Structure 1
């Protein structure tokens, strides 16, 4: 079975090499579709022996991805973005999945490196090269609609999911997160698409989330709630409930938010996809004083993923509030071990050490917090420094 990589790019010289390096010994050919680069992106792709195509960007990811498929000659397609890398540990499972003659689509778990809320997502990025499989949706493009149509006519096809992390995505790193201008463009494109396909709950879930992110809370809630009864796909239902939980929290409708997070956590999807919902649910319980419930929610998240730094941090906050200082210190240290740049964890570790009477360890933690804040939030660094000086400490 021959495997083709298909990637669409624009000015990705900083990340494309890592992407192509991760698949150079896995795929049989690389297809890189350039949508208007002015840097070394095309030269890097050619250096890896990629087939390079050119396509003018039309603010439509589905159109660009479908254009890239035209260059592929493999039996299977693997789709990556330039800021993603394939984990080598997943390759044997991918090869095994491709050998099954009934497999049409293989969903892959993607780790959102740097994301503090939802560190994992499920993406439809590995599929059989078939003339009827095409991407739809101008933003958050996916092949699921065409796959579903094909399976309705030919029911021998199967869709499966690999549970181990397959892709690392670095789009949530500092400086890489989309700005409001990009969100506005996505909003405009999805509004146009939804006006043409008003029953498309997948687009409704994505557009509703953008409304909430842009502060248009009421409009976001209306769209998300309208979509809920129309869709039976557990993954889409999860996103609808999850984003409704966020929106209702913004409006301080905490009971409604908890209801949505609970509904999200009860859906039959991969447990790793529920981490953000457990975290936010725990935060709501903590805010209302249900510290035992909050601890349980954070522990459920850590049972799913022991590498979830944000859950350790929030667990530390609850333990500190309960006066369980050794437990709080241990939780903060676990968060820092997983994320050495976690300024808030260093800051609260300093508080916990101070409450426990270990002044040298406290000042060391505060110093590390200040150094990290100095790069990302200088005002907070100065505030901590002044508070420590008020208490008679010098850092």
Structure 2
């Protein structure tokens, strides 16, 4: 079985080499569709051996991705963006699943590196080169709808997902968003789609979340609630149909199988959308100082039957909400649950440390901060709070060392905090100017 990398790109000369380098020893061909670059993006792709084609951008990601698919010659297709990397650890699993006969689509876990919210997502980026698979929606283009239509006609196919981290995505870092004007591009594409699909839960979720993140809380809340109303009705319809959709362990993969009704294979996707809607409604209500409403939405998100890694954001935000309300033991439980799902969840260790500090459990707090720093050596706040707790238990030298590390890191990104911290330590007689 052969596999092709399939990409659309524009002005990605900085990011593209890392992306192509992550797959060059794995894929059999690289298809790169350039949509109007003015830099060296096409030349870089050719230097990696990619087959470069050209396409005039039409403000629709699906149209461009479908144009790229036409050039694929392999049995399987792997779709990446230039700001994504394929993890080496997932390659053996992909090779194994390509040898099976029953799967048409395999979802991969993607880490949103540097994202303020939602550290993981499940993306449909690995699928067979089937003539009827196509992307739909102008932004956040998906093949899921076409796959569902295929399974209705060819019910022997199944959809699955691979355990473990498959893709690293750095495009949600603030600098990358600002540099590429991503919010403006996303909003324009989704508004065009929303005009003709005003109640589509997926676009309501994505555009609503975008509004909330960019400060348009009221507009975002309205869209998210509209999407929730529609998605809840769809989910209830699926549940009442008697469909039995579940994940089953099979060697390297877990299966989302259409065991009773082929047309119901998308109920897990519906739960994913429901999760996102509840999750972002929780964020919106937190911004609006409605903690009880936020609590309801986070708890609803956590109860949904989706891949546990996707719930980390909800557990973390729920913990923050409970900690702010003074319910420290419940907050501790929320953070601990998140860390059971992902022991490398840096924010979970830091927030658990903050909870231990508030409970007066200083040694436990120190351990949490140290773990967070080990996982992220550039975590200024973790160093700073480590310094606070070390000082509380009388470890003055260890405290000063932690504070100095915090100051160095703050000076790079938050010079005002560095100045404030340095002044405070000077007044306490711990450091000299």
Work out whether the TM-score is over 0.5.
yes
The equivalent residue for 2:275 is: 238
**Secondary structure at 1:195's aligned position in 2?**
helix
Cα shift readout 1:126-183 (whole Å, capped 9, x = no counterpart): 0111221111111111111111122222222211111211111122346223469531
The equivalent residue for 1:62 is: 62
Does residue 250 (structure 1) correspond to residue 250 (structure 2)? The answer is no
Deviation at 1:115, TM superposition (A): 2.9
Mind listing any 5+ residue stretches in structure 2 that lack a counterpart?
236-269
Deviation at 1:394, TM superposition (A): 1.6
Q: Does structure 2 conserve the Cα–Cα contact (< 8 Å) formed by 1:201 and 1:230?
A: yes
The equivalent residue for 1:369 is: 406
The equivalent residue for 1:134 is: 134
Q: Does structure 2 conserve the Cα–Cα contact (< 8 Å) formed by 1:8 and 1:65?
A: yes
Larger CA deviation: 14-23 vs 124-133: 14-23
Kindly tell me: are residues 182 and 21 of structure 1, through their superposed partners in 2, closer, same or farther at Cα, counting changes over 3 Å? closer
Q: How far apart are the structure 2 equivalents of 1:269 and 1:206?
A: 18
The equivalent residue for 2:185 is: 185
Q: Does structure 2 conserve the Cα–Cα contact (< 8 Å) formed by 1:8 and 1:32?
A: yes
The equivalent residue for 1:52 is: 52
Deviation at 1:392, TM superposition (A): 1.7
Larger CA deviation: 6-15 vs 333-342: 6-15
Larger CA deviation: 235-244 vs 163-172: 163-172
**Cα RMSD (Å):** 1.5
Deviation at 1:219, TM superposition (A): 2.0
Q: How far apart are the structure 1 equivalents of 2:385 and 2:171?
A: 28
Q: How far apart are the structure 1 equivalents of 2:129 and 2:149?
A: 15
The equivalent residue for 2:296 is: 259
Equivalent residue in structure 2 for 1:325, among 362, 369, 374:
362
Q: How far apart are the structure 2 equivalents of 1:183 and 1:24?
A: 31
Deviation at 1:83, TM superposition (A): 1.5
**Secondary structure at 2:343's aligned position in 1?**
coil
**Secondary structure at 1:111's aligned position in 2?**
strand
Deviation at 1:116, TM superposition (A): 4.7
Query: Normalising by structure 2, what TM-score?
Result: 0.88
The equivalent residue for 2:316 is: 279
Q: How far apart are the structure 2 equivalents of 1:115 and 1:368?
A: 23
Equivalent residue in structure 2 for 1:302, among 339, 351, 370:
339
Q: How far apart are the structure 1 equivalents of 2:114 and 2:189?
A: 27
Structure 2 counterparts to residues 1-395 of structure 1, below 5 A: 1-173=1-173, 175-178=175-178, 181-231=181-231, 232=235, 233-394=270-431
Deviation at 1:270, TM superposition (A): 0.7
Q: Does structure 1 conserve the Cα–Cα contact (< 8 Å) formed by 2:177 and 2:183?
A: no
Q: Does structure 2 conserve the Cα–Cα contact (< 8 Å) formed by 1:117 and 1:279?
A: no
Q: Does structure 2 conserve the Cα–Cα contact (< 8 Å) formed by 1:11 and 1:39?
A: yes
Q: How far apart are the structure 2 equivalents of 1:195 and 1:40?
A: 36
The equivalent residue for 2:248 is: none
Q: Does structure 2 conserve the Cα–Cα contact (< 8 Å) formed by 1:316 and 1:328?
A: yes
Kindly tell me: are residues 257 and 180 of structure 1, through their superposed partners in 2, closer, same or farther at Cα, counting changes over 3 Å? farther
